Amino acid sequence: MRNDHTYAVVVLAAGASRRMGRPKQGLMYHGEPLVKHAVSAALEVSDRVLVVTGANKEVTEEAIAGMMVTLVHNEDWETGMASSIFAGIEYLEAGEDYDAGVIITTCDQPMLTADHLQALINEMETTGAGIVASVYSQTMATPAIFDRKYFHELKGLKGDRGAKELFVQHASDTRGIAFPGGEIDMDTETDYETLLKMKNDPGQV
């Protein structure tokens, strides 16, 4: 499952997991850490996968040791998600091969699949849209793919709001793809316990 055009994937894994109380990057699901699950899906659709680390850097690096990814450490991770997006995009722009676009995704959505990431790519290629976002819980969110013309605006984001404001600012150039289960993420221990019960997965509580 590879693509003719060059689409990078940036996996955001820099958060401190304060509400969880332990690194969500290392939570076990179906026998592997959540961050490894996200990276595995990304590697199925792209040869150019960046993992942005911050807090819990060692946990993340251990979880994905040996995987063919580029690690980008965000020293400013405490300022919010936007700084991790900035770190990933800045790294891509500094490369010799300039990517056609980038998929931005997080490390804590257990329902993420390579098929969904490929659907984002297909929608962009088919419609010519500059942004394709995932749709769940009646909103657009990550994972989302952005044409390189939006790299500058992605780098200009601030705080912890992520890229949602671009979906509004460029509504006419944005499409959505349904992501069943996208609303399931791991912010608290209750979220994790619910996930394990729902999927009958013993995990590693």
Instruction: Give tens-digit pLDDT for 164-177.
Output: 999 999 999 999 99
Instruction: Give φ, ψ of 23 to 5 degrees.
Output: -65, 115
Whether residue 110 has pLDDT greater than 70:
yes
CATH number, span 7-198 = 3.90.550.10
Instruction: Say what the pTM is.
Output: 0.92
Closest CA to 38 of 62, 16, 12: 12
Residue 21: name the closest of 169, 142, 197, 187 by CA: 187
Per the structure block, which two tokens stand in for 138?
Answer: 């009646």
Q: What is the pLDDT of residue 205?
A: 41
Tokens 């990550």, residue?
142
User: Which residues, in sequence order, are bridge partners of residue 50?
Assistant: 10, 70
Retrieve residue 118's tokens: 């490929």
Q: How far is CA 122 from the centre of its chain?
A: 17
**pLDDT tens-digit map of 52-93:** 999 999 999 999 999 999 999 999 999 999 999 999 999 999
Vertex 91: Cα angle to 87 and 94 (nearest 5): 140
pLDDT bucket at 2, cuts 50 / 70 / 90: very low
